[in-house]
């Protein structure tokens, strides 16, 4: 919940606020065609990013995300894409162990927003545990 809270701006956004230009030409994300960075910027509750991730997520969810990337912005698909991402990255074991830094690294590629993620994690624990 803390990761979704941070990545979605506390459930306000299902599309990255930045243009996606920073992802242009990033081969690791599969962004090999001109315009891929903007087209496949972060979307969904955990911000699925990049052509390769859109293709894999679309295949798993039965959606044409390469042809219609904005489908991840629909509420049900935003949730389903987060579930797909969480499961395919093996995040349950890390979350169960309370290792929010490693969870953050797998979601974000770094520790962007770690302080907020940790604060949200502690708030969620107070309510759920």
The pair of structure tokens assigned to 87 is 């499961």
Q: Catalytic residue at 16?
A: no
From residue 41, give the alpha-carbon distance in Å to each of 19, 31, 99, 119, 127. Answer: 7, 10, 26, 26, 32
Q: Cα–Cα distance between 57 and 55 in angstroms, integer? A: 6
Q: Catalytic residue among 7, 16, 24, 101, which? A: 7
The pair of structure tokens assigned to 83 is 């579930």
Q: Which are the catalytic amino acids?
A: 7
């Amino acid at each position: 919940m803390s990761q979704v809270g941070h990545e979605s701006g506390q459930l306000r956004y299902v599309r990255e606020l930045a243009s996606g230009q920073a992802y242009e030409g990033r081969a690791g994300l599969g962004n090999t065609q001109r315009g891929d960075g903007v087209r496949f910027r972060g979307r969904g509750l955990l911000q699925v990013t990049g052509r390769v991730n859109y293709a894999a997520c679309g295949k798993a969810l039965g959606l044409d995300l390469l042809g219609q990337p904005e489908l991840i912005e629909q509420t049900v698909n935003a949730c389903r894409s987060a579930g797909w991402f969480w499961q395919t990255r093996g995040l349950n074991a890390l979350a169960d162990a309370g290792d929010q830094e490693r969870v953050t690294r797998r979601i974000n590629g770094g520790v962007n927003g770690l302080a907020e993620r940790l604060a949200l994690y502690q708030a969620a624990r107070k309510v759920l545990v």
